[in-house]
Copies of this chain bind each other. A is one copy, B any other.
Amino acid sequence: MVEEDPGVSIGTLARQSGCKIETIRYYERIGLICSPPRTAGGHRVFATADRKRLTFIRRARALGFTLGGVKELLRLVDSGAYGCAEIHDLAAGHLKEVRGKIAELQRLEATLSDMTSHCERGERPDCPIIDALSDSLVGKPRA
């Protein structure tokens, strides 16, 4: 029962995982994935496990996890005996952050929306948007 894993080049892995070549090398450099074996000429040879790991990373990143968060997730997965609890807490914590960002952006949206609605693109020199940003008048730079 010899399980052969022919191995793929970094370019093939990039196509399979959806990560760019440079990103894969970057992940290796920062220790997110392990350094793969090389050919006699020095080219990286990746295994199926690497494709799965990279796909995992890409999906977690797409959900907005930081690389630090991804590292945590992978650490739990790598440890084997992960319980749902820790994973859940990581995801819940991230969800909270995302909701915070949404709330913040919605505040900006309201302000910007209000500002632009008050400015009807008129040709008056006293633009309400500028007024809102200015302290009565913006200091011009030294001539």
Spell out A's residues near B (CB within 8 Å): 33-34, 36, 47-53, 55-56, 59-60, 63-64, 73-74, 77-78, 81-85, 87-89, 91-92, 94-95, 98-99, 101-102, 105-106, 108-109, 111-113, 115-116, 119-125, 127-130, 132-142
Contact = CB atoms under 8 A, between A and B. Distances in A.
A141 B109 contact: no
Given A102-B105, A139-B52, A133 B33 contact: no
Given A77-B130, A105-B105, 13 more contacts: A47-B142, A50-B139, A52-B139, A53-B138, A56-B138, A73-B130, A82-B127, A84-B120, A88-B119, A88-B121, A91-B119, A91-B129, A98-B105
Nearest to A49: B139
A108 B64 contact: yes
Given A102-B106, A141-B34, A135 B85 contact: no
Given A108-B98, A140-B78, A87 B134 contact: no
A80 to B, nearest CB: 8
Contacts of A84: 119-124, 127-129
Contacts of A60: 133
Given A77-B138, A87-B130, A125 B52 contact: no
Contact of A115 (B91, B119, B123): B91
7 contacts: A56-B138, A56-B139, A77-B138, A81-B125, A82-B127, A83-B122, A84-B122
